[in-house]
Structure 1
């Protein structure tokens, strides 16, 4: 009589593979979608879509970048579907409601009043300027400059060459810098009237 080794159920195997990556998937989805509910829906859609493909999932060597690529492609598909439903700008589809200022999440040092004034002016200006960038530009800047992703990982997830990531990142930073300078440029004081 042969004894067959115990094989965990499909749902347990799936949970063991995906569960350790759910937080990272959610953070990435939030960066893409910009809203908590949309990010949760995006991750849920990906998980539901992947469950029947457990065998394929088990054969993936580096699961985290692979899962992020699936999240990204699902997001692009959703944006395209919504875009076909009506001709609205992409920023309207993604929305900005419910977004927290990512600058507020950074730790601050004890600084003097001059620097505090500059930071109080810079934060809102940076938020306004970030919203003028395209969603792709914002995503790239958030992934690399805020979340600290390596360019190689971004290239793998977005399925584009490393050189393209580097050039896009350079252009995004240049655009951000230019727009931020215009935003923070002091206005000329009004001349005195009178004689």
Structure 2
């Protein structure tokens, strides 16, 4: 169920109050962008698809019944927008797994890295690790990437994931287990290839 404030903004937006919808965008734009970024792996595509997602959200507001949280509903729309775009690119054979990560100041933080202000060397290591994590996500299947983004990055509950994917809790848990295993295998290989003695290793709770 949406919060009372969200529900009021939703109702006003449906009635044509654009200021109310702008407030909804302000509240959720970072989360929508984060979802899009983790799917696409670069800022330009993430920004474009976040805008497209909000257009679809606005168009579909009258269909929101409040059976789930507003964020879960938004997530469902955003993930569908990103998945549709990825399918289009795969058909055109233009989707690349390699991204240029030069804009490190704008790169979103990854899961559970320490929050203390790092020194220059540690900051560089974190930046390199973020690149490797995103590259690893890009190498995963769409199914595995989607469920990892939902659970590990967006911190959706198992029930919320089951609702988004329209599947049982058992399916969510088994799919997540396989996705974590696939991520760990690929990430280990990436770290081994990047250095004979990698400074960053996969630890429980640091990445997944």
Same-fold call, TM cutoff 0.5: yes
Larger Rg over CA atoms: 1
In structure 2, C-alpha distance between the alignment counterparts of 1:53 and 1:74, rounded to whole Å: 13
Aligned to 2:29: 22
Aligned to 1:73: 80
Are residues 1:96 and 2:102 paired? Answer: no
Residue 82 of structure 1 deviates from its aligned partner by: 2.6
How many residues align? The count is: 168
CA deviation string 1:128-170 (max 9, x = no partner): 6555322432342243234433222222233333222211111
Query: Contact 1:69–1:159 at 8 Å: present in 2 too?
Result: no
Q: Normalized against structure 2, the TM-score is what?
A: 0.60
Uncovered stretches (5+) of structure 1, i.e. residues with no partner? 1-6, 110-115, 188-195
Aligned to 2:93: 87
In structure 2, C-alpha distance between the alignment counterparts of 1:129 and 1:13, rounded to whole Å: 38
Question: What is the aligned counterpart of 2:148 among 141, 150, 159?
Answer: 141
Question: What is the aligned counterpart of 1:156 among 141, 152, 163?
Answer: 163
Aligned to 1:3: none
Q: Where does 1:98-177 land on structure 2 (aligned, <5 Å)?
A: 98=101, 100=107, 106-107=113-114, 123=129, 127=133, 129-177=136-184
In structure 2, C-alpha distance between the alignment counterparts of 1:30 and 1:65, rounded to whole Å: 17
Query: Contact 2:32–2:75 at 8 Å: present in 1 too?
Result: yes
Cα RMSD (Å) of the superposition? 3.8
Residue 177 of structure 1 deviates from its aligned partner by: 3.5
Aligned to 1:113: none
Uncovered stretches (5+) of structure 2, i.e. residues with no partner? 1-10, 117-121, 197-208
Name the SS of the counterpart of 1:79 in structure 2: helix
